[in-house]
């Protein structure tokens, strides 16, 4: 019995040792900020970077992090790794935590994984020009709301380093809780982006659909010397040259005419004005007739008109003229000389090269170089690992307990927490569905517009319903346009030609412009004492 007990203890001890060894061997770099950062991290001395970094506790926890302590500042700090991390072979996991304790209206909270110093940079002079291999993390300002993943890759033909941006990156969580960001680089060229352990984006480094610009240039390019022939006709439709305006077509007929059949309603008060002087008004004591002019009582609606069908002179209303047709235009027919939209011929791309996998530069340091309008940004638990399970274990032990505490506190502070949680769960499913819809191939031309609306709906809760309706309308419009847009246009002459509509639109624009001009003038004129119409 005793021997069995000792054997079990030995087995557990061996398992524990193996687990610790696995974590230690696969954590290529780890910074918990449990101790002050001085000595391990170097603060940039460049003049633009005045922001003060602090070793501070996360609000509500005993856990420490690296704190952005001042608003409207640039910050730069870097940590040199003991040994550069090779990104070319095997799996590499980049992971770190960020807590936006005061929110994030405009600024970055991303990390830069820097190339070796031989590339031309120094720790004390770390700035936005320092060469990096990867930039990863949240960034939000104005219309920008994304978790960046940017790869700087060397073009093997030109030798230049080009920035390649991940297309359609996930948006930044809009709360003040701790969140963990994970980028998993796989040897088969796959990239996965996780937020709080949940996959938000999957991409392939060599796919032109996932990175802009693509790492591999196109095999062919438009010939820059090719010119469109002078006789090339791009008009799909032309006015029918054989069409003749009908004899009964009156282009001068007005759009509206007086309704001669209209009858004045009974009880119409012809002798009563619509407005009368306010009987309760009196001239102000400080009214100066030499400066302000003759005082007149302000007008009010005539109470006698409230119960009557109308007051004042009755006039017959206008109605649409059945004879109105507007300016005649010949109907459109298929152009027999149509050759399609001209494009220059394709030629072999002299800059084309083949690539089996990205030629990653090694990571020799981790830097934070940001500009932000917010303080209270806390970085923590920065990890580089060669095993996804190691990153997962850090999320479970270092991040999740804090997040759960913060989440519970947030619920307690929200009186409608239960309802909001239910709604947020439903909204999450809706957003997940919309992201899948945006990936449908026939919506490619509109994908950016749809994704922009989805991101706004996620980050602006007060506008979510309205934006979701807009997204549905956009998708339905595109669907019906694709479904019915290919039908041939009818040759029937419309009653309201485009010229008339354009004229009306032009009139509306002029009217709007006049109103704006009048408003500007009113704003420029000094305020004077009120007259009868002002009151």
Tell me the backbone φ, ψ of residue 482, rounded to 5 degrees: -70, -40
Q: Are strands 346-348 and 220-222 parallel, antiparallel or unpaired?
A: antiparallel
Q: What angle do CA 456, 462, 464 make, to 5 degrees?
A: 50
**Is residue 443 within 8 Å of residue 434, measured between CB atoms?**
no
Q: What is the CA radius of gyration of the chain?
A: 35
In this structure, how many other beta carbons lie within 10 angstroms of the beta carbon of residue 64?
A: 19
Domain boundaries, the chain: 24-221+357-407, 423-475
What are the residues whose beta carbons fall under 8 Å from the beta carbon of 101, sequence distance 6 or more? 58, 59, 176, 376, 377, 378
Report whether the peptide linkage leading into residue 213 is cis, meaning its omega lies within 30 degrees of zero: yes
The beta strand positions in 132-283, using DSSP E, are: 132-141, 144-154, 161-166, 178-185, 190-195, 198-204, 211-212, 220-222, 237-239, 256-258, 275-277
Distance from C-alpha of 462 to C-alpha of 459, rounded to nearest angstrom: 9
The encoded tokens of residue 36 equal 């002050």
What are the residues whose beta carbons fall under 8 Å from the beta carbon of 15, sequence distance 6 or more? none
Q: pTM of this prediction? A: 0.62
Distance from C-alpha of 98 to C-alpha of 100, rounded to nearest angstrom: 6
For residue 268, how many C-alpha atoms fall within 13 Å in the half-sphere facing its CB? 11
**Is residue 369 within 8 Å of residue 24, measured between CB atoms?**
no
The encoded tokens of residue 324 equal 């109105």
The beta strand positions in 418-459, using DSSP E, are: none
With respect to CATH, is domain 24-221+357-407 assigned 3.40.50.1820? Answer: no
What are the residues whose beta carbons fall under 8 Å from the beta carbon of 197, sequence distance 6 or more? 180, 182, 392, 395
Tell me the backbone φ, ψ of residue 193, rounded to 5 degrees: -110, 125
pLDDT for the residue numbered 492: 38
pLDDT for the residue numbered 158: 85
Q: Which residues of the chain have pLDDT under 50?
A: 1-25, 417, 419, 486-535
pLDDT for the residue numbered 368: 97
What are the residues whose beta carbons fall under 8 Å from the beta carbon of 396, sequence distance 6 or more? none
**Is residue 325 within 8 Å of residue 492, measured between CB atoms?**
no
Element (H, E) at 390: helix 388-394
pLDDT for the residue numbered 26: 66
Give Cα 114 to chain centroid, integer Å: 28
For residue 419, how many C-alpha atoms fall within 13 Å in the half-sphere facing its CB? 3
Distance from C-alpha of 351 to C-alpha of 329, rounded to nearest angstrom: 51
Q: How high does pLDDT run on average in the chain? A: 83
């Amino acid at each position: 019995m005793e021997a069995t007990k000792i054997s079990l203890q030995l087995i557990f001890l061996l398992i524990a040792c193996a687990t610790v060894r696995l974590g230690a061997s696969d954590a290529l770099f780890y910074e918990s900020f449990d101790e002050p950062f001085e000595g391990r991290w170097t603060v940039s001395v460049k003049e633009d970077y005045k922001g003060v970094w602090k070793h501070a506790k996360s609000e509500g926890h005993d856990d420490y992090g690296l704190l952005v302590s001042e608003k409207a500042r640039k910050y730069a700090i870097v940590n040199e790794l003991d040994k550069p991390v090779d990104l070319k072979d095997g799996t590499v996991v980049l992971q770190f935590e960020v807590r936006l304790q005061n929110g994030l209206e405009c600024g970055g909270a991303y990390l830069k994984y820097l190339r070796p110093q031989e590339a031309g940079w120094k720790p004390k002079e770390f700035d936005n020009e320092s060469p990096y291999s990867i930039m990863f993390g949240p960034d939000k300002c104005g219309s920008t709301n994304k978790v960046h993943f940017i790869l700087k890759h060397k073009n093997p033909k030109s030798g230049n380093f080009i920035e390649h941006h991940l297309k359609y990156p996930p948006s930044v969580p809009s709360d003040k809780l701790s969140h963990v960001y994970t980028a998993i680089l796989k040897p088969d060229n796959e990239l996965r982006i996780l937020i709080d352990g949940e996959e938000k984006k999957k991409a392939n480094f060599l796919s032109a659909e996932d990175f802009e610009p693509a790492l591999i240039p196109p095999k062919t390019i438009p010939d820059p010397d090719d010119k469109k022939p002078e006789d090339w006709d791009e008009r799909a439709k032309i006015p029918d040259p054989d069409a003749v305006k009908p004899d009964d077509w009156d282009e001068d007929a007005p759009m509206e005419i007086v309704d001669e059949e209209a009858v004045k309603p009974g009880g119409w008060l012809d002798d009563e004005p619509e407005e009368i002087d306010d009987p309760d008004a009196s001239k102000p004591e400080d009214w100066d007739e030499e400066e302000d002019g003759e005082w007149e009582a302000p007008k009010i609606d005539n109470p006698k008109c409230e119960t009557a069908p109308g007051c004042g002179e009755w006039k017959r209303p206008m109605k649409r003229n059945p004879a109105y047709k507007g300016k005649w235009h010949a109907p459109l027919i298929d152009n027999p000389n149509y050759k399609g939209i001209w494009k220059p011929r394709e030629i072999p791309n002299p800059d084309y090269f083949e690539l089996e996998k990205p030629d990653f530069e090694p990571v020799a340091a981790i830097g934070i170089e940001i500009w932000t309008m917010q303080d209270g940004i806390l970085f923590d638990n920065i990890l580089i690992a060669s095993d996804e399970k190691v990153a997962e274990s850090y999320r479970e032990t270092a991040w999740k307990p804090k997040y759960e505490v913060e989440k519970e506190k947030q619920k307690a502070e929200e009186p409608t927490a239960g309802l909001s949680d239910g709604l947020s769960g439903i909204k999450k499913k809706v957003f997940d569905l919309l992201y899948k819809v945006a990936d449908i191939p026939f919506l490619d031309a509109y994908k950016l517009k749809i994704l922009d609306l989805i991101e706004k709906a996620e980050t602006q809760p007060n506008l979510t319903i309205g934006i979701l309706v807009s997204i549905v309308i956009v998708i339905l419009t595109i669907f019906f346009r694709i479904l019915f847009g290919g039908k041939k246009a009818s040759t029937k002459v419309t009653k309201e030609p485009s010229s008339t509509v354009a004229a009306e639109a032009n009139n509306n624009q002029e009217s709007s412009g006049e109103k704006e001009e009048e408003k500007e003038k009113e704003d420029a004129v000094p305020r004077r004492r009120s007259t009868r119409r002002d009151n």
